[in-house]
Amino acid sequence: MGRPARTFDDARAWERLGTELFLSAAGVDDAAIAAPSALPGWSRGNVIAHVAANADALGNLVHWAATGEPTPMYASPDERAAGIEKGSVLPAAELTEWLRRSAGELAASTADLDDEQWDNEVVTVQGRTVPATELPWMRSREVCVHAVDLGTGLSFADLPDGFLAALCDDVVGKRSQNTAGPALRLDATDTADSWELPGEGTPTVLAGPLFQVTAYLTGRAHALTTAAGAPAPEIGPWL
């Protein structure tokens, strides 16, 4: 693709930016929290609770990296779902306080890690074993993408091109593990980046601005069409 891979420093910068964007977008009242988000079936309260719970969960992995004591992100999938559902119906002031507290605690705990601790391995909720240096990237995806999902006016066009390209790399890597869908080639017309997804048939070419390519790959609303003007092929969930 002709560009450098994302770095640890990149991810930390995107995490800080995404956190600021999310906290700003999440500053809503009780009525707005109950309103639908851009994610089907989820209110804005669901999205905010999910991001707050994610900070607490990543804090568990920071503890793991710092101490060597295995500390899973969540005790179980059921606990994770129940926590998000419970948090989503909190009054706006309480939900916002949880969001800000959890984000602040995560930032403080990661700031205390030394180089050796950052290299320690932890296990994600998906069961992947990764060095702790992956945690800022994991968090940046959460806050940046879900800031858009809140549906308060932000779009992928408001995020840095470097983050969008790194996210496309990540999503394509994940989607390439399943070749049951259509073969695709996605061209970002404003950055000259290009991605290919293996699949069935001759690749369908989709071209447009990087933020539209990112929206499509992550399953969000987009305006991409084929060269003939046909709708972009449907693709399954990203995560």
Q: How far is CA 56 from its chain centroid?
A: 16
Contact between 212 and 223 (Cβ < 8 Å): yes
Q: What is the pLDDT of residue 77?
A: 83
* pLDDT tens per residue, range 147-189: 999 999 999 999 999 999 999 999 999 999 988 889 999 999 9
Cβ contacts of 28 within 8 Å, gap of 6 or more: 44, 92, 152
Residue 130 forms beta bridges with which residues? Answer: 122
Whose tokens are 């447009």? That residue is 208
Whole-number pLDDT of residue 2: 61
41 phi, psi to nearest 5 deg: 85, -5
Is 31 in a helix, a strand, or coil? helix
Each residue of 208-229: b (16+ CB within 10 Å) or e?
A: bbbbbbbbbbbbbebebeeeee
Please tell me the distance from the alpha carbon of residue 142 to that of residue 131, in angstroms, as a whole number: 18
pTM of the model: 0.94
Domains in the chain with CATH codes: 8-154 (1.20.120.450), 161-217 (no CATH)
Question: How confident is the model at residue 85, as a pLDDT?
Answer: 85
